[in-house]
């Protein structure tokens, strides 16, 4: 069936299309919308936190509600905003960059999204069902194990389900990048964004199972009376800290590495230069990924692991600064000697360099264990990780959206609105978080609902809160930009930026089979090579032929829905055992879907050569 | 281009101004005005690493500024295609090796100070205090001294005091920024750290590990007095008579009410190690109520009548007692005269 | 095409990796097992941290007997071997023999599961040792139970494949499915070897 027919369908068919889609480009749209909405929710929570802290002894929100806000702000931003937005970009770009027609596991790709979405919904259900999670996004035991009500149960089940989705997504991209590359696309010719996607997927694969186990232990403690974290039963609260951070530290790199990839591609494109020190950049990326697993205990310097362990983890942590520094300098020298175009995408990339350098340098300061005894769990840490995650990941996501928006939707985001967003968000970001370094050292621990007057903390907090409003303003302008662009902006060509990599060699947005003929890759920046040799597009690696594509399926949606139902069963069987029926129902739905998937052959369909030739004539 | 750099500079100046305005924080609270061994060591390390890192930041920003000023796309040269440089081995080596050297400069003092701050060799001949964290208050049991206090920790200046710390419920973290870095309290294992105050003073302490509703209200005080004053305090505390008769009639009634309402069931007066609620032996000497409120009779009465409104989630709200406001006032009278020692927070503040 | 049952002429050397889908499944499943390794490593770590936290309840010395566990180990090790036979016959395109050996694998797996259920029943009702007895109890049932859950899932999976393909024989579409199911079975077996060593042997000595 051709794409022209699909476009004439009604709204119901449109929804059904997205519910059943296994097309990585549409899954990217789903991730983008869901992640974007959760980002706004998390932002709203952040604003309420900053309003509460605008002056001492404030009572804008109650202490209990504040704890729910801070927990959900962290959890939402990490798991429900940053992760899916990164998956949105990965889905939209990686298959195109390697010259593939789809991902390795289109069905699982869809399943990964729906699991994430239903997990995210469970997490947020707490708001309406008697209280959201309130033990911090790190959910340290035993507080998380004894926290009354069902709040933390929503955290446990929600993250478990969305975590499974993330793991599936990670495996999918690993196999896609390893097995689905176009002819000639060797590892050392992959765009750096694809490289970072590969390393990030590896980190997901090895980091998330530790969280899975941690969540299971917490779930058994809370829902089935186990004693992993119950000291009176011989339990040990430090186990949670280890498991959480064995996952949690790599998670930081899972988030930041794709952002590094985005900046590498953006800086190279808009300075019209090949990425400086490509080999070193690849090496640095893998080294960061590897070291990311060796440093989890630097989150636990105050846990009392002893000076030897603290020193070892301090030095290992400092070591990560070396490959990160290599990256910063290679970016600077990519710009050096180039001819730099500054537009919104590039502004985010250029704003990233100083911001992230501050975040990186405070990271080294935090690595000094004995000094961390002062920083730990204060606003210094809050400042540091916002510099890294906002200044790195969020800036990266904004850059990626401005850069690839035309590829995803065929339209360039409005430049004026883009610049307004950047400048307000950038100024607001530094205003909010720079001062927090000092607040921390001046004696303000993190997760404080209120602070007392007369402790010289008033001005700093006020400044910080004002900054938050600037960031909110910038984010709102971005939303307006998206709406404005989709209504007003003209269609653009397949290659609006004079791009260098394969995704710019096909129309915008790409046809659902991406490449009519699989491209032949002849070096790093394959499109650039062809352009320099005077050709218009990429040389194909095969003659025009039938294209095999996977079939859409509703099963991923139903399978995730089953787990969603079972999740509620698990949570409420504590109050009333008859809720176990919900568990059985939900698990039955999910296992039934798996069985259906296993016994029902899904061989996909073919797009015929004749149709492809027709479409070619239309263009 | 001007706009870009201008905005950036404005931001920097603004940030600097903020710093000047707020200074280094409150004396005896801020880690930037260290008064103890641990906090001074930490500030040294902070300064070393900050110095190195500012150097790195300046290097990056200089290159950054040059790049942005020099290599912008120029009018009339829109079609210019720059040379596609692959990289530069010498440069790669430089920006690998120099950071390693810089990190070693930070790593050496880091390891040295980390081990120094964990030194427990002097623990046996030093004053040891067993610290228990509770939602949301602190208990201090002076090992081998028969002294129990809550919320106010008295220590002598100029010597290491070892704290053996454990929590009775969820995790807490003991932090007196002006004296020392923090350490967590776990329910299953004891953690040990030492603090040493170099000057007399009343230092603000805070809980730094998220512990629930009133995490932000779990403040305490460390009162550092001269060793002579400390000895005096120890003697006074050891000689407390928990049943001593108050002088005023109201306070006497308060004492009776205190017993009749089984307040004593949770709140010990004297050296009894039971500590379901804070020990009140020297309650009258405290400078804050519940860590964060002004230590006035009105506040104490308010607290007794409705503890939840002052410290949400605290366990006294669940306690079973029934007193009228008049009775609460008498209890407050009784509690306020519990001043067993002449050594009070005031002696730490006046004997500069 | 891929529907067609394989005959000796069309039989590739590695039917599980002859198509792109097969290659993807093969590689993806290895990665999945990598993740599973971290999962079990975390559970083992937890168990090792808590194995002496018996809270005055029964400890490993009193509870564990090696006889039954030895039988269970033999059952599972043998089932791993029979699944190797099954894969050997798959590569030789003898579908009937593959089904037969998979059937033996399933029977052995069921035997293992029966023993495990008996063991748990004995601990719970005979010794009063449950998930709620102590941190050690929690860690024991979680680790061994997770493994048992994997065995159950593996059995269901292999049975589903056998029943589904009983009538149509081997082709390039289902060969990878059989292959990764057997990979999964091996993984379960390897995990059991560690459980046998870490939980039972170290627990008794």
The CA distance from A181 to A187, in Å, is 9
The partner residue sitting opposite B213, judged by closest CB among A63, A142, A328, is A63
Domains, chain A: 22-538 (1.20.210.10)
Report whether pLDDT(C14) > 90. no
Signed CA dihedral, A572, A76, A403, A469: sign only: positive
pLDDT given for residue A2 in this prediction: 41
The CA distance from A603 to A609, in Å, is 18
Task: Label each residue of A178-204 as H, E or C.
Answer: HHCCCCCCCHHHCCHHHHHHHHHHHHH
Ranges of each domain in chain B: 31-117, 124-352
Radius of gyration of chain B (CA): 27
The CA distance from B316 to B320, in Å, is 8
Q: How far apart are the first and last CA of chain A?
A: 17
Site from B208, B290, B317 to mutate, A interface, most A CB atoms within 10 angstroms: B208
Ranges of each domain in chain C: 15-50+66-204
Q: State chain C's mean pLDDT as an integer.
A: 92
Nearest CA in chain A to C1: A603
pLDDT given for residue A614 in this prediction: 77
The partner residue sitting opposite C131, judged by closest CB among A207, A225, A599, is A225
Nearest CA in chain A to B88: A277
Report whether pLDDT(B187) > 90. yes
C-alpha separations of A267 from A260, A353, A400, C23, C27 in Å? 10, 11, 11, 35, 34
Q: How confident is the model at residue B3 (pLDDT cuts 50, 70, 90)?
A: very low
pLDDT given for residue A18 in this prediction: 96
Q: Could you tell me if C34 lies within 8 Å of chain A, comparing CB atoms?
A: yes
Contacts of B35 in chain A (CB under 8 A): none
Site from A240, A443, A527 to mutate, B interface, most B CB atoms within 10 angstroms: A443
Cβ partners under 8 Å of residue A294, min gap 6: A313, A316
How many other C-beta atoms can be found within 10 angstroms of the C-beta atom of residue B243? 9
Give the DSSP letter string of chain C.
Answer: -TTSPP-TTT--S-GGGSSHHHHHHHHHHHHHHHHHHHHHHHHHHHHHHHTT--TTS--HHHH--HHHHHHHHHHHHHHHHHHHHHHHHHHTT-HHHHHHHHHHHHHHHHHHHHHHHHHHHIIIIIS---TTT-HHHHHHHHHHHHHHHHHHHHHHHHHHHHHHHTTT---TTTHHHHHHHHHHHHHHHHHHHHHIIIIIIHHH-
Partner residues linked to B152 by β-bridges? B221
Q: With an 8 Å Cβ cutoff, are A235 and C53 in contact?
A: yes
Cβ partners under 8 Å of residue C19, min gap 6: C2, C172, C173, C176
pLDDT digits (tens, 9 = 90+) for B235-279: 999 999 988 899 999 999 999 999 999 999 999 999 888 889 999
Contacts of A601 in chain C (CB under 8 A): 3, 173
pLDDT given for residue B94 in this prediction: 95
Give pLDDT < 70 ranges for chain A: 1-9, 616-619
Cβ partners under 8 Å of residue C7, min gap 6: C93
Sheet with B220-225, edge to edge strand ranges: B152-156, B220-225, B201-207, B172-176, B180-185
pLDDT given for residue B11 in this prediction: 57
What's the token pair of residue C15? 């039917």
Higher pLDDT: B83 or B24? It is B83
Task: Label each residue of chain B as H, E or C.
Answer: CHHHHHHHHHHHHHHHHHHHHHCCCCCCCCCCCCCEHHHHHHHHHHHHHHHHHHHHHHHHHHHHHHHHHHCECCCCCCCCCCCCCCCCHHHHHHHHHHHHHHHHHHHHHHHHHHHHHCCCCCCCCCEEEEEEEECCEEEEEECCCCEEEECEEEEECCCCEEEEEEECCCCEEEEECCCEEEEEECCCCCEEEEECECCCEEEEEEECCCCCCCHHHCCEEEEEECHHHHHHHHHHHHCCCCCCCCCCHHHHHHHHHHHHCCHHHCCCCCCCCCCCCCCCCCHHHCCEECCCEECCHHHHHHHHHCHHHHCCCCHHHHCCCCCCHHHHHHHHHHHHCCCCCCCCHHHHHHCC
Contacts of C132 in chain A (CB under 8 A): 224-227, 233
- CA distance to partner chain A, nearest, from residue B74 (Å): 8
Centroid of chain to Cα A281: 21
In CATH, the number for domain B124-352 is 2.60.40.420
Q: With an 8 Å Cβ cutoff, are B312 and A63 in contact?
A: yes
**Angle of the A24-52 helix axis to the A11-20 helix axis, nearest 10:** 90
Give the DSSP letter string of A443-500.
Answer: T-BSS-S---TTSS-HHHHHHHHHHHHHHHHHHHHHHHHHHHHHHHPPB--S-TT---
Centroid of chain to Cα A20: 23
Site from C29, C52, C53, C158 to mutate, A interface, most A CB atoms within 10 angstroms: C53
The partner residue sitting opposite B22, judged by closest CB among A146, A322, A438, is A438
Q: Could you tell me if B106 lies within 8 Å of chain A, comparing CB atoms?
A: yes
**Angle of the C20-50 helix axis to the A151-179 helix axis, nearest 10:** 140
* Number of residues assigned to chain B: 352
pLDDT given for residue B352 in this prediction: 45
What's the token pair of residue B335? 């509690």
The CA distance from A539 to A524, in Å, is 14
Asked whether the whole model's pTM tops 0.90, one would answer: yes
Site from A22, A98, A213 to mutate, C interface, most C CB atoms within 10 angstroms: A213
Q: How far apart are the first and last CA of chain B?
A: 55
CB B99 within 8 A of CB B107: no
Report whether pLDDT(B1) > 50. no
CB A133 within 8 A of CB A65: no
In chain B, what is the greatest distance between 2 CA atoms, to the nearest angstrom?
Answer: 96
Chains linked to A by 3 or more Cβ pairs within 8 Å: B, C
The CA distance from C75 to C111, in Å, is 7
Q: What angle do CA A375, A377, A381 make, to 5 degrees?
A: 60
**Angle of the A458-488 helix axis to the B2-22 helix axis, nearest 10:** 150
Instruction: Tell me which residue has tokens 């930070």.
Output: B106
Domain B31-117 belongs to what architecture? Orthogonal Bundle (1.10)
Q: With an 8 Å Cβ cutoff, are A236 and C31 in contact?
A: no
Nearest CA in chain A to B118: A307
Contacts of C139 in chain A (CB under 8 A): 228
pLDDT digits (tens, 9 = 90+) for A279-310: 999 999 999 999 999 999 999 999 999 999 99
Q: With an 8 Å Cβ cutoff, are B23 and A456 in contact?
A: yes
The partner residue sitting opposite C138, judged by closest CB among A228, A595, A601, is A228
Q: With an 8 Å Cβ cutoff, are A377 and B99 in contact?
A: no
The partner residue sitting opposite B15, judged by closest CB among A231, A367, A434, is A434
Site from B32, B87, B312 to mutate, A interface, most A CB atoms within 10 angstroms: B87
C-alpha separations of A469 from A107, B67, B80, B193 in Å? 41, 32, 42, 41
Q: Could you tell me if B69 lies within 8 Å of chain A, comparing CB atoms?
A: no
**Which among A360, A503, A355 is positioned nearest to A430, based on CA atoms?**
A355
Q: With an 8 Å Cβ cutoff, are B26 and A231 in contact?
A: no
**Angle of the A192-224 helix axis to the A278-291 helix axis, nearest 10:** 10
Q: Residues C92, C97, C98, C100: what is their CA dihedral angle, to the nearest 10 degrees?
A: -170
Q: State chain B's mean pLDDT as an integer.
A: 91
Cβ partners under 8 Å of residue C55, min gap 6: A227, A232, A233, A234, C133, C134, C135, C136
Residue C120 exposed, middle or buried by CB count within 10 Å (0-12, 13-18, 19+): middle
Report whether pLDDT(B5) > 60. no
Q: With an 8 Å Cβ cutoff, are A213 and C27 in contact?
A: no
**Which among A380, A383, A391 is positioned nearest to A348, based on CA atoms?**
A391
Question: Average pLDDT for residues C30-48, to the nearest whole number?
Answer: 97
CB B55 within 8 A of CB B48: no
Per-residue burial over C28-41, b if 16 or more Cβ lie within 10 Å, else e, is bbebbebbbbbbbb
Q: Which CATH superfamily is domain C15-50+66-204 in?
A: Cytochrome c oxidase, subunit III, four-helix bundle (1.20.120.80)
Interface of A with C in 78-137 (CB under 8 A): 104-105
pLDDT given for residue B318 in this prediction: 87
Report whether pLDDT(B23) > 80. no
Q: How confident is the model at residue C11 (pLDDT cuts 50, 70, 90)?
A: confident
Give the DSSP letter string of A297-350.
Answer: GGGGGGG---HHHHHHHHHHHHHHHHHHHHHHHHHHHHHTTS-B---HHHHHHH
Chains linked to C by 3 or more Cβ pairs within 8 Å: A
The ipTM is 0.95
The CA distance from B35 to B158, in Å, is 11
Coil/strand/helix, residue A547: strand
């Amino acid at each position: 069936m051709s794409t022209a027919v699909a476009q004439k369908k009604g709204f119901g068919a449109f929804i059904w299309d997205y519910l059943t889609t296994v097309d990585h480009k549409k899954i990217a749209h789903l991730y983008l919308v869901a992640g974007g909405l959760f980002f706004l929710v998390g932002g709203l929570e952040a604003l309420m936190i900053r309003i509460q802290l605008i002056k001492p002894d404030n009572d804008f929100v109650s202490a209990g509600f504040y704890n729910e806000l801070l927990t959900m702000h962290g959890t939402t931003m990490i798991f429900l905003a940053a992760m899916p937005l990164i998956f949105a970009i990965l889905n939209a770009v990686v298959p195109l960059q390697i010259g593939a027609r789809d991902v390795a596991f289109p069905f699982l790709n869809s399943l990964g999204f729906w699991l994430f979405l239903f997990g995210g919904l469970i997490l947020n259900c707490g708001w309406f069902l008697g209280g959201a999670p309130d033990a911090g996004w790190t959910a340290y035991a035993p507080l998380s194990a004894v926290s009354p009500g069902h709040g933390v149960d929503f955290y446990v089940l929600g993250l478990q389900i969305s975590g499974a989705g993330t793991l599936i997504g990670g495996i999918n991209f690993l196999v896609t990048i390893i097995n689905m590359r176009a002819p000639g696309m060797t590892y050392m010719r992959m765009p750096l964004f694809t490289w970072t996607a590969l390393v990030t997927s590896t980190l997901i694969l090895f980091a998330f199972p530790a969280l899975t186990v941690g969540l299971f232990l917490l779930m058994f403690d809370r829902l089935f009376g186990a004693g992993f974290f119950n000291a009176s039963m011989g339990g040990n609260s430090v186990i949670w800290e280890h498991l959480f951070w064995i996952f949690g530290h790599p998670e930081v790199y899972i988030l930041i590495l794709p952002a590094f990839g985005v900046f590498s591609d953006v800086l190279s494109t808009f300075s019209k230069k090949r990425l400086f020190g490509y080999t070193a950049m690849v090496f640095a990326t893998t080294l960061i990924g590897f070291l990311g697993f060796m440093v989890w205990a630097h989150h636990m310097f105050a846990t009392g692991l002893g000076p030897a362990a603290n020193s070892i983890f301090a030095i290992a942590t400092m070591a990560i600064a070396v490959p990160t520094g290599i990256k910063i300098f290679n970016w600077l020298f990519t710009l050096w000697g180039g001819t730099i175009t500054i537009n919104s995408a590039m502004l985010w990339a250029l704003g990233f360099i100083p911001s992230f350098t501050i975040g990186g340098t405070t990271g080294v300061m935090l690595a000094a264990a004995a000094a961390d005894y002062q920083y730990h769990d204060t606003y210094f840490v809050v400042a540091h990780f916002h510099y890294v995650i906002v200044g790195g990941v969020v800036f990266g996501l904004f850059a990626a959206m401005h850069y690839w928006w035309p590829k995803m939707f065929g339209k360039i985001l409005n430049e004026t609105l883009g610049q307004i967003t950047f400048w307000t968000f950038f100024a607001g970001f530094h205003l909010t978080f720079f001062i927090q370094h000092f607040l921390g050292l001046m004696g303000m621990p993190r997760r404080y609902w209120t602070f007392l007057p007369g402790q010289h903390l008033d001005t700093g907090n006020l400044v910080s809160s004002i900054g938050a409003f600037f960031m909110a303003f910038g984010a709102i302008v971005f939303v307006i930009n998206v709406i404005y662009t989709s209504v007003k902006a003209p269609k653009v060509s397949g290659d609006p930026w004079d791009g260098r990599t394969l995704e710019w060699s096909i129309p915008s947005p790409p046809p659902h089979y991406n490449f009519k003929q699989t491209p032949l890759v002849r070096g790093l920046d394959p499109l650039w090579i062809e352009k320099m040799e005077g050709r218009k597009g990429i040389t194909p690696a095969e003659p025009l032929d039938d294209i095999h594509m996977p079939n859409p399926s509703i099963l991923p949606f139903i399978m995730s829905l089953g787990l969603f139902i079972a999740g509620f069963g698990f949570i409420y069987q504590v109050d009333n055992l008859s809720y176990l029926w919900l568990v059985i129902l939900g698990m039955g739905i999910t296992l039934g879907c798996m069985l259906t998937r296993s016994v029902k052959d899904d061989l996909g369909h073919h797009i015929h050569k004749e149709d492809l030739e027709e479409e070619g004539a239309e263009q | 281009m001007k706009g870009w750099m201008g905005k950036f500079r404005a931001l920097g100046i603004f940030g600097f101004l903020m710093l000047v305005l707020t200074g280094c924080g409150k004396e005896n609270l801020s880690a930037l005005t260290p008064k103890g061994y641990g906090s001074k060591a930490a500030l040294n390390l902070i300064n070393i690493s900050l110095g190195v890192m500012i150097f790195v930041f300046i290097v990056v920003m200089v290159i950054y500024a040059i790049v942005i000023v020099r290599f912008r796309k120029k009018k009339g040269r829109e079609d210019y295609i720059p040379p596609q440089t692959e990289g530069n081995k010498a440069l790669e080596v430089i920006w690998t090796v120099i950071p390693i050297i810089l990190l070693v400069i930070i790593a050496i003092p880091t390891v040295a100070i980390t081990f120094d701050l964990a030194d427990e060799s002097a623990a046996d001949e030093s004053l040891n205090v067993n610290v228990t964290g509770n939602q949301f208050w602190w208990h201090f049991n002076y090992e081998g001294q028969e002294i129990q206090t809550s919320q106010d920790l008295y220590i002598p200046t100029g010597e290491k005091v070892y704290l053996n710390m454990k929590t009775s419920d969820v995790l807490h973290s003991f932090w007196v920024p002006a004296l020392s870095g923090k350490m967590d309290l776990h329910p299953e294992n004891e953690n040990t750290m030492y603090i040493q105050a170099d000057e007399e003073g009343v230092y603000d302490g805070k809980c730094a590990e998220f512990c629930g509703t009133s995490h932000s209200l779990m403040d305490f005080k460390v009162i550092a007095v001269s060793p002579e004053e400390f000895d005096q305090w120890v003697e006074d505390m050891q000689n407390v008579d928990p049943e001593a008769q108050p002088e005023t009639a109201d306070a006497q009634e308060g004492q009776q009410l205190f017993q009749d309402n089984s307040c004593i069931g949770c709140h010990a007066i004297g050296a009894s190690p039971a500590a379901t609620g804070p020990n009140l032996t020297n309650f009258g000497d405290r400078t804050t109520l519940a860590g964060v409120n002004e230590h006035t009779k009105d506040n104490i009465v308010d607290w007794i009548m409705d503890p939840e409104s002052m410290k949400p989630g605290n366990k006294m709200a669940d306690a079973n007692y029934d007193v009228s406001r008049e009775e609460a006032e008498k209890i407050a009278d009784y509690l306020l005269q519990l001043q067993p020692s002449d050594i009070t927070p005031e002696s730490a503040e006046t004997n500069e | 095409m891929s529907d067609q049952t394989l005959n000796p002429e069309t039989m590739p050397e590695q039917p599980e990796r002859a198509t792109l889908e097969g290659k993807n499944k093969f590689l993806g499943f290895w990665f999945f097992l990598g993740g599973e390794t971290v999962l079990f490593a975390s559970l083992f770590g937890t168990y090792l941290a808590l194995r002496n936290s018996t809270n005055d309840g029964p400890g490993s010395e009193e509870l564990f007997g090696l006889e039954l566990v030895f039988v269970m180990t033999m059952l599972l090790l043998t089932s791993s071997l029979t699944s190797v036979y099954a894969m050997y016959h798959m590569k030789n395109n003898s579908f009937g023999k593959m089904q037969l050996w998979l059937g033996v694998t399933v029977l052995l797996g069921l035997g293992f599961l029966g023993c495990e259920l008996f063991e748990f029943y004995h601990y719970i009702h005979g010794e009063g040792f449950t998930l709620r007895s102590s941190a050690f109890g929690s860690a024991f049932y979680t680790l061994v139970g997770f493994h048992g859950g994997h065995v159950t899932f593996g059995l269901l999976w292999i049975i589903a494949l056998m029943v589904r393909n009983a009538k149509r024989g081997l082709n390039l579409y289902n060969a990878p499915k059989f292959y990764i199911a057997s990979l999964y079975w091996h993984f379960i077996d390897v995990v059991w070897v560690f459980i046998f060593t870490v939980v039972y042997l170290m627990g008794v000595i």
